[in-house]
Structure 1
């Protein structure tokens, strides 16, 4: 497996249950109600910053070197209230950064370190994050000093980087620029379990086949970042654990070599904590009393000693010198036999056989005492699994290669959800372009846009074909990890050109006309695709009786196959698109839930979702030119007819056996229209109906067009990070 080989995952590709109910004050009474709140969770109501605050501008003013120096100095400033292991907080800060970034999963791009979400429930109270509340409080002086420009999201990852550097690793780089959220991410589905660390069977079709884990999940239990360190369901078996490690890390976008590097490099420093009984540990932060002030996991036996801290329940260091980047992890793992034992807290772990005391690490609080090191079941998997073992042998033969491989994998882990390099800020941004950053070359901005529009208009393409192609190109964007979108025109490359949702035959026909126009005019294909969508939209607007221009900004580039990690784009394939009234096949979740999921990933508000869907219907852009939801006698014109007819009480609505609906004239009983649930939800859901009624009003016909154009432009420019500066 090469450095860019990430295998696809199996199972249902869409979110289960994340868009309904969620025990909100209203929806808890109606658990099947569509939860529209996820489209508005990070709006002005939660954000305390001034309306004109520009985080990118604030970050530019940071003294990057001063911030790094302060954070690095903090590593060895041990506090009496939470003493550092061996006088160094490096291991704790690495764990904080790792667990912040490690919640990322490739399937939907959610989780990860990009928003500082570990500050909020449920992540701040996951069992796997025990005592990381202390790590964040230790960082507070730096956050307080540098203020708004230093986000928690940046600071947490920077702390991990500075920890590694202070212990001797040359890191690959670091970027500032992450912007904090101010409320929990209610859009993220972490699983259906109702208890922490519930048996893994609840999220697998077959526990012996890790690929059957429910998508889009990556961790093996509710409340864990990745795998159970004691073994599958807490039962030690390194060979079996290796299979789950491989699947989990693949779902985090890591191949085998990156997985081995992260596991070995992550455990080259620091220690696990389980030296006291777990039964004596208090509740998590979200359940703690007021006087705890956001702290959780109270430890009566701590006694101001680092060695008495409690996190996973596993106890011990992995190396002889846990505050130094070296090859000690491999020395221990491969030069000793290991036997199964228990930590003082009762957790399963592995201990070396016949290790002399002078080869053991000293106690984290008392250097006069030597303590037995340990390995987790995941560590033993590196030795037992033949693929991981071979990789580790390669690392041991070339320590510099190991350090470089780890540094790159760590950089990928902590930056994967930042999107393209145009979002990176600071003086440690690597110059090298990495394929997982989805690089796109700069596009031409000096061509004659009007001339290109004229050629497109004379091309013979229908407005619906132009609009649908532009939409399909742009709809892949997901704000969760800032991947996808129209920039790069990857819709013409594998795998996107062959996706069923993109109607490959129709797409090939359209591209066969647009690509020569790009070549003739000097415009990028990406620009021409979007511009063609705008031309088709303006034609539909004019046909509907309005004269409103659609904004366009040139400068998109065209990616190549060499710039595209095709396997990692498989997860961006749409398995449903409510905006084009299409579902690939029957899924456990409804069409309207999948519509809501896509709208949230695209960064749309409920109003934007509403206006876009209604407009796409009447312009005739349904997948396969289907008639469902085309509530108009003026197909091809951008009108508010979808909403006018949806809310017209002259009609009644009737389910059909195939899951569709008929809209009939009440008097005659004649079938007027047909629909899917993704259409009728805009009349049945009280919130969406309120938006639909706005656009159905006689005085809002022009507002509908203006709002559609604004929302369309937002979608087309969603990935234009080059326009932010």
Structure 2
């Protein structure tokens, strides 16, 4: 009897490579082809929970106190299976949580610990995540016990929180509510390198200028969370490391005080592992043999546990008592001079000169031994950089200030990608509203909606004015970190009111009409902006012969400027909008690829993208009122003319240069329309053309209008976490 390894060569019973990564190489035949996978990821077919499962409801059954008790016990009770440093898994669990949350970047809101994505490649096999596979397996009995009432994403972060509490830190709080994904995040760009830990130069214009790091990246090398602990490109230089630490943490939405607190607080506990030959480690989890059962980095020379482990390659603890949250980090860093040395694994690390024996930490495995503490190049940056040094001096002078600052920064690190506080659940959610949570007060719901719609309709605003303003207000939403959107009406504040993409003059004029209506009716301006868009859509549909009512849920609130962190909103500025046929400037990425990226952030599918683009064109919402792609003689009416004329075989497309086209009558050569690449792609891409043909059919104009209204409502309501929190 043959097993799976005995199938004769050339007799493979399935198409060769079809079920492995090699099977995807067929897409390489047409490298310019749009990849719609990012719009169709996390389909219900990959989710085993079924459409009726609500994580929010499941959380209501969770015994939080019992869970926390089990977590506390786990930190010291599981020693027979995987011995921990000093008999305590705190350092491992903090690193697990940190590295789950630490992939977040402010530029596009992607990454972070909100999905449990660390279970999957590439994150589960990043060099920076060595041995976190063990941490996840240690948590399995708890996940198994609490089942559907506890997501992996919540468990990873909770493990770090409980670890800090067990080591003496009063944490700022914790919010459940992170919903697991069931496949890797295909939309996250981690860099262009074809291998891990390639020199940083590949993602910098000038590696000596940290600000030149490629956007939206927030780590110095492929496979690292932040910076290289040995120094930039593995070359120790604390001053240069300080620059890179500052840039990477800023791209994670952290200021200098938060960065210094996180560095010190993160290295107050636990240790680095580099006692052995890093080159001897086995394959990463995704490349390991089947019998490894998802484990990676097998250590053939040592036990791979506690002092006999290799992960970062650096070896040692930062403090004298690595299982206590204390001020030991500052005592050693600033109390001694430090010199460069090599770890047993050959990594650069800093060790103290003439340290007292009692200040040395006890060996992680053998309590009869003491070893030198260590500092990474990033730690030395806290001492060398004058700004970080001054912050650390303040921490040393006021330990309670340090503890509070770190606790708040840790909470921000681990909750930054959860969006507004409406998405938080549980007894430990802090009452305080934090500005980075983009707080929004509750809005009124008891006003006369029909009366407001009547006032809007009689205001003299055009369909284009109403639809465009509502769209511009809502399109900032990104599902990556649940920021932006129409709720809060922050479009009236800087920086949004001045963005080129929002046509400031038109925006000010439209808001000048809508604000009095909101004030007179008792409705929020946020609601009135969306209602105006709905009125515009209804009028456009009626002009096309369709009576529709666009669904509307009141209750949006109006944020104040004091509630608005203006600088952080700069990252939400649109630099393109395929729906309004606008590109701020030419970019290396093609406009159609930019549009796909934006649609993924907005949570739109390819059919929704198609129907919205076609509808927005004929309504007349192009930026600057250009006529590119307005394939209709009935502009302002919600018809399917865009698709009818796009697929008309009597037309031919003639490039005019710089991404422009003329759509000419095939017989006469007369130019009927002008267009951009964004318009052209709906007829060029075989997938998008299939959708376009569907909406161009004679029997599908009503379907087109209905689908447009549904997709429009989805965009307008994407940020209504006050109505439907994530996971509901």
Q: What is the TM-score of this pair, normalised by structure 1?
A: 0.96
Q: Distance in 2 between matches of 1:431 and 1:129?
A: 33
Aligned equivalent of 1:642: 642
- Would you say 1:322 and 2:322 are equivalent positions? yes
Measured at CA, do residues 655 and 542 of structure 1 come closer, stay the same or move farther in structure 2, by a change above 3 Å? Answer: same
- Would you say 1:175 and 2:185 are equivalent positions? no
Deviation of 1:356 (Å): 2.6
Deviation of 1:193 (Å): 0.6
Measured at CA, do residues 316 and 641 of structure 1 come closer, stay the same or move farther in structure 2, by a change above 3 Å? Answer: same
Aligned equivalent of 2:14: none
Deviation of 1:513 (Å): 0.2
- Would you say 1:64 and 2:48 are equivalent positions? no
- Deviations along 1:581-637, one digit per CA (max 9) or x if unpaired, are 000001100110111011000000111011000100010000001111111111110
Q: Distance in 1 between matches of 2:45 and 2:287?
A: 25
CA contact (8 A) 2:104 2:112 kept: yes
Deviation of 1:696 (Å): 0.9
Q: Distance in 1 between matches of 2:724 and 2:63?
A: 21
Aligned equivalent of 1:134: 134
After TM superposition, the structure 1 = structure 2 runs for residues 423-438 of structure 1, keeping only pairs within 5 Å, are: 423-438=423-438
Q: Distance in 1 between matches of 2:657 and 2:678?
A: 16
Q: Distance in 2 between matches of 1:26 and 1:154?
A: 38
CA contact (8 A) 1:471 1:533 kept: yes
Aligned equivalent of 2:11: none
Aligned equivalent of 2:455: 455
Deviation of 1:348 (Å): 0.5
Deviation of 1:38 (Å): 0.5
- Would you say 1:443 and 2:440 are equivalent positions? no
CA contact (8 A) 2:112 2:417 kept: yes
* Pairs aligned (count): 705
CA contact (8 A) 1:128 1:223 kept: yes
- Report the 3-state secondary structure (helix = DSSP H, G, I; strand = E; otherwise coil) of the residue aligned with 1:702: helix
- Deviations along 1:46-73, one digit per CA (max 9) or x if unpaired, are 1111221111111122111111111111
Q: Distance in 1 between matches of 2:386 and 2:22?
A: 43
CA contact (8 A) 1:108 1:480 kept: yes
Measured at CA, do residues 24 and 498 of structure 1 come closer, stay the same or move farther in structure 2, by a change above 3 Å? Answer: farther
Q: Distance in 1 between matches of 2:172 and 2:668?
A: 71
Larger mean Cα displacement after TM superposition, 577-586 or 76-85: 76-85
Q: Distance in 2 between matches of 1:520 and 1:173?
A: 40
Q: Distance in 1 between matches of 2:440 and 2:305?
A: 51
- Report the 3-state secondary structure (helix = DSSP H, G, I; strand = E; otherwise coil) of the residue aligned with 2:341: strand
After TM superposition, the structure 1 = structure 2 runs for residues 664-679 of structure 1, keeping only pairs within 5 Å, are: 664-679=664-679
Q: Distance in 1 between matches of 2:591 and 2:154?
A: 37
Aligned equivalent of 1:484: 484
Q: Distance in 2 between matches of 1:524 and 1:716?
A: 15
Deviation of 1:336 (Å): 0.4
- Deviations along 1:216-241, one digit per CA (max 9) or x if unpaired, are 00000011000000000000000010
Q: Distance in 2 between matches of 1:23 and 1:480?
A: 29
- Would you say 1:699 and 2:699 are equivalent positions? yes
Aligned equivalent of 2:97: 97
CA contact (8 A) 1:22 1:28 kept: no
Aligned equivalent of 1:15: none
CA contact (8 A) 1:97 1:156 kept: yes
- Deviations along 1:631-655, one digit per CA (max 9) or x if unpaired, are 1111110011111111111101111
Deviation of 1:297 (Å): 0.5
RMSD: 1.1
- Report the 3-state secondary structure (helix = DSSP H, G, I; strand = E; otherwise coil) of the residue aligned with 2:321: coil
Aligned equivalent of 1:610: 610
CA contact (8 A) 1:23 1:31 kept: no
CA contact (8 A) 1:278 1:345 kept: yes
- Deviations along 1:83-108, one digit per CA (max 9) or x if unpaired, are 11000000000000000000000000
CA contact (8 A) 2:303 2:309 kept: no
After TM superposition, the structure 1 = structure 2 runs for residues 331-346 of structure 1, keeping only pairs within 5 Å, are: 331-346=331-346
CA contact (8 A) 1:485 1:719 kept: yes
Larger mean Cα displacement after TM superposition, 161-170 or 624-633: 624-633
Deviation of 1:335 (Å): 0.3
Aligned equivalent of 2:12: none
Q: Distance in 2 between matches of 1:41 and 1:129?
A: 24
Aligned equivalent of 2:8: none
Aligned equivalent of 1:595: 595
Q: Distance in 2 between matches of 1:82 and 1:300?
A: 16
Q: Distance in 2 between matches of 1:303 and 1:113?
A: 30
Deviation of 1:23 (Å): 8.8
After TM superposition, the structure 1 = structure 2 runs for residues 270-669 of structure 1, keeping only pairs within 5 Å, are: 270-303=270-303, 305-669=305-669
